[in-house]
């Protein structure tokens, strides 16, 4: 894999939750390219294994581990597997997360009577279970792996926790209140953890990706003929750089935050990688 710059992670063990997915699979490969032994945790074991296989084919060291970030028991079991295979963890990347239609309204703006229309989900129709699912996946799904794996990190030199937030954390996007609230909680929790662990050698930061066309959101952002959807047009009109990000453009920030040489005094920050989206008022 081509990296923007090299950092030395030889001898380090990295745990990447959601590592079977698009962005975190790429993060796992970048960490492995720098010499880390990488444990890829995902609910979808076959996806985790596929990323581990790619890393191994490239000369790196990795294992795929089946784990549910919403189950402490499953995470404890995963930790045993990681510790047996590689030893204790030095880097925890909390990447598992995402939105779900059950936490999403159909329309951007409420209009009187929307709750009576059968073909749409109004704010009043949102299912509390759907909202909880999205909130828990992103927030508890960051907190529980931290409870389990941070025990390995305590007292080590150069230990790092990296969370994955989102643009929604700075200002909520329309239609997705559960995901927006959950990612705001992830950013807030990043600051809380950074303070809480500041005396025991763990730095805690987050990356907030802007808009990247990946397999999971391609249908939302692009029409089948490759043209932009109306939501995409809006996103790009609010992105000063006028384009989507390429997933590889997140790697520089990942490596910077993970590197103790580069970021030893950087703690509790959430770095947007967004082409200026979060900085733009729209005027």
Name which of 45 and 107 has its Cβ closer to ligand NAD: 45
* Nearest to ligand NAD of 72, 107 (CB atom): 72
177 part of the interface to ligand NAD, by CB under 6 A: no
Does residue number 15 form part of the binding site for ligand NAD (CB under 6 A)?
no
- The closest of 59, 55, 47, 53 to 27, measured between CA atoms, is 55
Q: Which is nearer to ligand NAD, 98 or 172 (CB)?
A: 98
* By CB under 6 A, residue 209 contacts ligand NAD: yes
Interface positions, 68-97, toward ligand NAD (CB under 6 A): 68-70, 95-97
Distance CA 83, CA 112 (A): 56
Phi-psi domain of 279 (left: phi exceeds 0; alpha: psi -120 through 50; beta: other): alpha
Closest among 127, 12, 147 to 70, alpha carbons compared? 147
Neighbours of 103 (CB within 10 A): 26
- Per the structure block, which two tokens stand in for 205? 């930061």
CB of 67 to ligand NAD, least distance (A): 6
Alpha helices in the chain (DSSP H): 22-33, 45-57, 72-86, 128-135, 141-153, 177-196, 218-221, 230-237, 251-258, 260-263
The reply to whether 179 belongs to the active site is: yes
Binding marks (x or -) toward ligand NAD, 156..175, rule CB under 6 A?
--------x-x---------
22 part of the interface to ligand NAD, by CB under 6 A:
yes
Residues forming the site for ligand NAD (CB under 6 A): 17-18, 20-24, 42-44, 47, 67-70, 95-98, 137, 141, 164, 166, 209, 211-212, 214, 216-217
């Amino acid at each position: 894999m081509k990296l923007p710059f090299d950092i030395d992670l030889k001898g380090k063990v990295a745990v990447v939750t959601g590592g079977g997915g698009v962005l975190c699979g790429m993060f796992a490969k970048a960490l492995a390219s720098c010499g880390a032994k990488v444990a890829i945790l995902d609910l979808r074991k076959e996806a985790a294994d596929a990323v581990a296989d790619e890393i191994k084919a490239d000369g790196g060291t990795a294992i795929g581990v089946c784990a549910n970030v919403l189950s402490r028991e499953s995470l404890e079991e995963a930790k045993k597997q990681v510790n047996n295979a590689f030893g204790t963890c030095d880097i925890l990347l909390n990447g598992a997360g995402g939105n779900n239609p059950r936490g999403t309204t159909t329309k951007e703006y409420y209009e009187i009577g929307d709750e009576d229309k059968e073909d749409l989900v109004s704010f009043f129709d949102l299912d509390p279970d759907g909202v909880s699912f999205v909130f828990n996946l992103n927030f508890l799904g960051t907190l529980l792996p931290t409870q389990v794996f941070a025990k390995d990190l305590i007292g080590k030199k150069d230990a790092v926790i990296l969370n994955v937030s989102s643009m929604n954390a700075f200002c909520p996007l329309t239609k997705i209140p559960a995901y927006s609230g959950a990612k705001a909680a992830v950013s807030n929790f990043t600051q809380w953890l950074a303070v809480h662990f500041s005396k025991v050698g763990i730095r805690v930061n987050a990356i907030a990706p802007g808009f990247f066309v990946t397999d999971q959101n391609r249908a939302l952002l692009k029409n089948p003929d490759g043209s932009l959807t109306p939501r995409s047009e809006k996103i790009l009109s609010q992105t000063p750089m006028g384009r989507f990000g390429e997933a590889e453009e997140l790697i520089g920030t990942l490596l910077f935050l993970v590197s103790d040489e580069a970021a030893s005094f950087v703690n509790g920050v959430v770095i947007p990688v967004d082409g200026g989206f979060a900085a733009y008022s729209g005027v």
